[in-house]
Amino acid sequence: MEGSRTPGGGLPGASEAWVAAVTETAELAERRDVVAELGKQLRALNEAAVRTEVPTDVLRRVAGEVAAATGELSRQQREISETASVDDLLGGVRMYNPVIGEGHPIAPPLRFEIDGTFVEGRCSLGLAHEGPPSSSHGGMSALWLDQALGHAAAAADNRGVTTNLSVRYRKPVPLGVPLRIWADTVEVDGNRTVTHGGITTVAEPDVPLVQAEARFLRLNGAQVRRMFPSMFSASGAAAGEGE
Ligand SMILES: CCCCCCCCCCCCCC(=O)SCCNC(=O)CCNC(=O)[C@H](O)C(C)(C)COP(=O)(O)OP(=O)(O)OC[C@H]1O[C@@H](n2cnc3c(N)ncnc32)[C@H](O)[C@@H]1OP(=O)(O)O
């Protein structure tokens, strides 16, 4: 139906507000798709950049081309304290989170499936995540786990900040191999949550490569306001405490 979702030519009885909301939703969905596409291209660029052995003059030319792209993206920037226009903190959409954000250049990105308080995500890592030759950097493993453990705390209705994270590296985490990152809640005590989790390969889920335990603290109102001032509207209502 031509013009059915545009102001003036819309569905019979549709209010201007409804039409505006639908248009905004479509625009937001399109922008998120494009942010995800840019993230995908940047991740491919990262991987190509750390693997390349092209001649030096090609490297120099590409550095100039990338600088030009950076200039384009820098024409309109948000402040550090501003939430990205594509994010929805209450809805858990964080397009630029370095673990789950589809728009983030270093995110695998992980997508967590949640069953009760059990959380599981799968990914493969590349040379952009390398620490020891052919293995994941230990800091990267801790990053994926901190996020997974945080989702387990959130799944136990105790979304909070990490106050302690302990990681035991038992075997190297191989690159280019499907991995499984899991977490679960062990204990909830008021505002505190204890979680544990680990990394295995998909092929050998019973062989722990990395094991972790973390404590999360659900912040009180004053702490939320102190840590995340940008999440409050002019009326002072909290918009959420997501990472
Ligand atoms: C729908 C969408 C779903 C989305 C899912 C999202 C998943 C997200 C996954 C994200 C994953 C990534 C996650 C990340 O990356 S989170 C980022 C990394 N973590 C941080 O940045 C935290 C930094 N730490 C702080 O800001 C402060 O230490 C805080 C604010 C935590 C406390 O600083 P404060 O100055 O206020 O207090 P204190 O230090 O003097 O502590 C004194 C004592 O009081 C206790 N205490 C304090 N506060 C509370 C409280 N509220 N209820 C009960 N008890 C409380 C406290 O334990 C201590 O007791 P004890 O230890 O001595 O016994």
Residue 163 C-alpha to ligand 1 middle, in angstroms?
5
Buried b / exposed e along 39-76 (16+ C-beta atoms within 10 A): beebbeebeeeeeeeeeeeeeeeeeeeeeeeeeeeeee
In a domain, 26, yes or no: yes
Q: Print the domain residue range for 142.
A: 112-231
How many domains are contained in the chain? 2
Residue 8's pLDDT is 28
Do 136 and 221 lie in one domain? The reply is yes
Do 132 and 22 lie in one domain? The reply is no
Residue 216 C-alpha to ligand 1 middle, in angstroms?
6
**72, 159, 171, 196, 213 from 166: Cα distances, Å:** 41, 19, 16, 9, 5
In a domain, 103, yes or no: no
pLDDT band at 228 (very low <50, low <70, confident <90, very high): confident
**Which tens digit of pLDDT belongs to each residue from 194-225?**
999 999 999 999 999 999 999 999 999 999 99
In a domain, 197, yes or no: yes
Do 61 and 136 lie in one domain? The reply is no
Burial class of residue 174 in the structure, from the number of CB atoms within 10 Å of its CB (0-12 exposed, 13-18 middle, 19+ buried): middle
Residue 162 C-alpha to ligand 1 middle, in angstroms?
6
Residue 233's pLDDT is 60
pLDDT band at 16 (very low <50, low <70, confident <90, very high): low
The sign of the dihedral angle between the CA atoms of 106, 37, 148, 242 is positive
Which of these three, 25, 52, 73, is where a domain ends?
73
In a domain, 129, yes or no: yes
Residue 200 C-alpha to ligand 1 middle, in angstroms?
28
Identify the residue with better confidence: 237 or 221.
221
Do 60 and 126 lie in one domain? The reply is no
Nearest ligand 1 atom to the CA of 242 is 6
Residue 64's pLDDT is 98
With contact defined as beta carbons under 8 Å apart, do 182 and 196 qualify?
no
pLDDT band at 11 (very low <50, low <70, confident <90, very high): very low
Cα separation of 95 and 187, whole Å? Answer: 30
Residue 13's pLDDT is 52
Pocket, ligand 1, Cβ cutoff 6 A: 92, 146-147, 150-151, 154, 159, 161-163, 191, 217, 219-220, 223, 227, 242-243
Supply the residue whose CA is at minimum distance from atom 39 of ligand 1.
Answer: 163
H or E segment to which residue 201 belongs: strand 192-201
Nearest ligand 1 atom to the CA of 153 is 7
To the nearest whole percent, how much of the chain has pLDDT over 70?
86
**Which tens digit of pLDDT belongs to each residue from 102-127?**
999 999 999 999 999 999 999 999 99
In a domain, 49, yes or no: yes
Tell me the pTM: 0.87
Do 53 and 141 lie in one domain? The reply is no
Supply the residue whose CA is at minimum distance from atom 45 of ligand 1.
Answer: 217
Residue 191 C-alpha to ligand 1 middle, in angstroms?
9
ipTM for the whole complex: 0.90
In a domain, 88, yes or no: no
Mean pLDDT of 24-46: 96
